């Protein structure tokens, strides 16, 4: 007992109040960890800024009214129209299907079936897009010719899980009390869905569709199989033919390895990236506002 009192250092009021020894080492380690974490976040943001900045600076050099409106070699007008056409058709296929799948998951499916469908959607979402390209090639292109429709089907397969999972999430947010109220009034199930549930989840469904559109608009791999041999000098709105589109245009120009092609590829990249960033930023802003202010 007496040993303990003698070995403890006497309290020295003049000693600095700075941690020393083990505590100091632990604090330094902790501080180091904080710096690494902060640095990683800054690194990611820096990469984003560098990529977007390069595209904007080099792309704006190529940008002009002619570039946006005319066909090759002056501009990429037909490709812009073609991409809009393909993504539009893909949305027309994927949005109703996706919403229906979302509705099935939240309103109609039993737990077992819902889990199976959800797993399938997640696996589809994780599928490499080039596999979807091979699939569409085998299904719609082989033995026939490339077409914008085949490309739209491929894009729709990519969009479907995004739309379905997104609308499932917003449908889950629809308060149970609304469903109960409709049921208490004797409204049939499908009318409840049509008149109560869908309208209150509409903004969320639109938002997740816009996010899916932003993803699909930049997909290149499936288009290489479905829609890559086209006449890029004229406008074409025929979905049974291959129409020019922006992603494949960028890909082909980047493989050409001459400065003029590169300049045009930067311009096309600028158009594509502005559309995608605007669409996904806007959708995210709406989504964030909706989360903060839940449904009335």
Partner 1 sequence: MLGLIGYEVVHGASPAISRFGLGFVLDSSWQPNPPFENFGAGTLLFGTVVSSFFALLLGGPIAVSIGLYLSLLAPQGVRGVISPLVEMLAAIPSVILGFWGILVLAPFVHGHVEPWLHERLGFIPIFGPPQTTGASIFTASLILTIMIVPIIASISRDLFLAVPQDVQDGANALGATRWEVVRGIVLPSTASGVVAAALLGLGRALGEAIAVTQVIGAGSEIKASLFETGDTLAGRIANQFPGAITEMHKASLFYLGAILLVIGLVSNLSAQWIGRRFDYRRMAAAE
55 touches partner 1 by CB under 8 A:
yes
146-165 footprint of partner 1 as x/- string (CB under 8 A): -----------x--------
**224 binds partner 1, rule: CB under 8 A:** yes
Nearest to residue 212, comparing CAs of 114, 98, 134, 104?
Answer: 98
Question: Applying CB under 8 A, does 100 fall inside the site for partner 1?
Answer: no
CB 235 within 8 A of CB 81: yes
Size of the site for partner 1 (CB under 8 A): 69
Q: How far apart are CA 101 and CA 228, in angstroms?
A: 31
- 143 makes contact with partner 1 (CB under 8 A): no
Q: Does 45 bind partner 1 (CB under 8 A)?
A: yes
| H helix intervals, the chain | 2-7, 21-62, 65-69, 77-103, 111-126, 129-136, 148-173, 176-184, 189-192, 198-217, 221-226, 246-256, 259-292
- How many Å apart are CA 53 and CA 30, to the nearest integer? 34
Nearer of residues 27 and 238 to partner 1, judged by Cβ: 27
Member of 72, 129, 200, 233 binding partner 1 (CB under 8 A): 129
Q: Which two tokens stand for residue 197?
A: 């549930």
Residues at the contact surface with partner 1, assessed by CB under 8 A: 26-27, 29-30, 32-34, 36-41, 43-45, 47-48, 50-52, 54-55, 119-120, 122-124, 126-132, 134-135, 137-139, 142, 157, 214-215, 217-221, 224-225, 228-229, 247, 250-251, 254-255, 262, 265-266, 269, 272-273, 276-277, 280-281, 284
């Amino acid at each position: 007992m007496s040993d303990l009192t003698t070995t403890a250092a006497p309290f020295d009021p003049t000693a600095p109040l700075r941690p020393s020894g083990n505590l100091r080492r632990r604090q330094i380690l902790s501080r180091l960890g904080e710096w690494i974490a902060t640095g990683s976040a800054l690194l990611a943001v820096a990469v984003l800024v560098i990529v977007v900045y390069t595209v904007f600076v080099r792309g704006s050099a190529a940008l002009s009214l002619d570039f946006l409106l005319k066909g090759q070699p002056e501009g990429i007008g037909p490709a812009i129209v073609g991409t809009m056409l393909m993504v539009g058709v893909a949305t027309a296929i994927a949005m109703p299907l996706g919403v229906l799948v979302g509705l099935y998951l939240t309103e109609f499916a039993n737990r077992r079936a819902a889990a199976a469908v959800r797993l399938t959607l997640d696996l589809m979402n994780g599928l490499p897009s080039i596999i979807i390209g091979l699939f569409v090639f085998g299904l719609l292109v082989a033995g026939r010719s490339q077409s914008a429709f085949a490309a739209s089907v491929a894009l729709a397969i990519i969009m479907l899980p995004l739309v379905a999972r997104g609308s499932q999430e917003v449908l889950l947010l629809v308060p149970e009390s609304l469903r109960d109220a409709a049921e208490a009034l004797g409204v049939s199930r499908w009318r409840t869905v049509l008149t109560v549930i869908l309208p209150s989840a509409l903004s969320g469904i639109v938002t997740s569709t816009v996010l899916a559109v932003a993803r699909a608009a930049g997909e290149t791999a499936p288009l290489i199989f479905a829609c890559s041999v086209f006449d890029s000098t004229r406008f074409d709105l025929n979905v049974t033919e291959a129409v020019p589109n922006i992603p494949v245009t960028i890909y082909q120009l980047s493989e050409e390895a001459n400065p003029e092609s590169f300049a045009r590829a930067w311009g096309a990249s600028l158009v594509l990236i502005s559309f995608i960033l605007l669409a996904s930023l806007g959708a995210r802003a709406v989504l964030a506002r909706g989360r903060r202010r839940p449904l009335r």
